[in-house]
Amino acid sequence: MKAGVDILIATPGRLIDFYKQKFFSLKQVEVLVVDEADRMFDMGFIADLRYLFRNCSAYDKRQSLLFSATLNHRVMELCYEHMNNPVRVAIEPEKAVVDAITQVLYHVGQHEKFNLLLGLIKKEAGEKVLIFSNTKIECEILEWKLNHNGFNAGQISGDLAQKARIRVLEKFQEGDLDILIATDVASRGLHIDNITHVINYDLPQDAEDYVHRIGRTARAGNKGTAITLCCEDFAQHLERVESYLKNKIPVAWPEEELFLEEKEGK
């Protein structure tokens, strides 16, 4: 890096670390690219990003490109603060209707959600099940609880080292793991064939994330099932998701037999 590079790729925090150690000067930046800007807000990187913008060459002395899955008011505010009359370029969003996917919604209390998950996995018995949670902490908890209850599960989240992530994905693809648990951020760029079931353990806040999630199944002409567990903690997102889909997600009412008792122990 000290010898000079044409392109430098880094997370905001790591870039600031090297900058403060005087490995390079941001004043010489000719092109600045920010990828997944909306996720920068979600992951708490926005203060670091603003720091980098302030210490770069002036906005009218560089070319700036910002990519974002969603252009909400926070992202647009960032654009107008630190870019030079930015031009907005939008591509057609991912198609919201996936005909080959059977969608099912269960309304369930938070206190019974894991019990229902156990019953659904046992009933469906899918060869490859992908479970989405909204937080990395919940991913880790689900991994432990599912394994403790007799399932072969692994998880990928933001804190998992790259080598460990690759090992988990290989085991899932090869069939050594039946269940993979992931966050939206950790699953970006994930391509795994023959996923039979996608389970939204948590309903996502972003409607497009819902489409991205369920689109992991029913690929290459196959059929798939997407199951969503809607509890009181995330029910406020349902209207937004269904509005984006332009359809109501079919609701199923779970019978008592679907609620399996969780195995005790630590």
Banded model confidence at residue 151, pLDDT cuts 50, 70, 90 = very high
In this predicted structure, what is the pLDDT of residue 95? 56
Mean pLDDT of 137-166: 91
Looking at every residue in the chain, the average pLDDT score rounds to: 90
Domains of the chain as residue ranges with CATH? 12-82 (3.40.50.300), 101-258 (3.40.50.300)
Amino acid at 69: A
Residue from 200, 201, 214, 143 nearest 172 by CA = 143
Structure tokens at 49: 């990003």
| Percent of the chain topping pLDDT 90 | 62
Q: How far apart (Å, rounded) are the C-alpha atoms in residues 103 and 182?
A: 19
| pLDDT beyond 60 at 97 | no
Mean pLDDT, residues 37-51 taken together: 85
pLDDT at position 257: 94
Q: Would you say 96 and 241 are in contact if contact means Cβ atoms under 8 Å apart? A: no
**CA-CA distances (angstroms) from residue 200 to 50, 85, 178, 211, 213?**
33, 39, 16, 11, 8
Residue with the larger pLDDT of the pair 72 and 227: 227
pTM of the predicted model, to two decimals?
0.73
The yes-or-no verdict on residue 129 having pLDDT over 90 is yes
Residue 157 — very low, low, confident or very high, per pLDDT cuts 50/70/90? confident
Residue 192: name the closest of 139, 154, 135 by CA: 154
CA–CA separation, 151 and 148 (whole Å): 7
Predicted pLDDT of residue 162: 82
pLDDT value of residue 208: 85
Using an 8 Å Cβ cutoff, are 52 and 12 in contact? Answer: yes
For 69, residues 6+ apart whose C-beta sits below 8 A from its C-beta are 36, 38, 39, 206, 208
pLDDT tens for 174-202 read 999 999 999 988 787 778 888 999 999 99
Confidence of residue 138 (pLDDT cuts 50, 70, 90): very high
DSSP secondary structure letter of residue 56 = S
